[in-house]
Amino acid sequence: MRYRLTNEKGEEFNWNNLGYPRVLELATRFGWKPRGTTLNWWLIEKTCRRHYREEYYDRAVVSADDAAEMAQALDRAMADISEYKRTRNQDPSYSEPNKPATLYDLGTYHEDESARYDYWILFYDELVRFTRFLQSGWYKLW
């Protein structure tokens, strides 16, 4: 399952089924307060079945102000992640994880901060691209 987002400029951004809820959670941890929605709503919206043909076109729209605030929160997160990576790489006792991440390891709420940052280091370029996408205004979730 993928999350397909389209902004007001017609640009598209895609997240996998784990990435989009995780980026919402990361932005929330860094001060983003969704306007009129919660993480649960996003998950329900994406996973529910559509029973009426006209509802197919009735998709969630994130306002330009909300997207801009989310981008600011992700900028703060990326600054923290960059600092964590710099400090981690200077620590002689640090060693890269030698096992692939499992779904449990990638759990949203039960991981520690270092595991979360190690995850986002792997997808840092995606965060940068998504933040640019958010700065283009409102977006629609498909």
Domain ranges of the chain: 2-141
The answer to whether the pTM exceeds 0.85 is no
Measured in degrees and rounded to the nearest 5, phi and psi for residue 106 equal: -95, 15
Q: Is the pLDDT of residue 104 over 80?
A: no
Q: Is the pLDDT of residue 118 over 70?
A: yes
Distance CA 11, CA 40 (A): 26
* Among the listed residues 9, 18, 20, 17, the one whose alpha carbon sits nearest the alpha carbon of residue 130: 20
pLDDT tens-digit profile of 12-35?
999 988 889 889 989 999 999 988
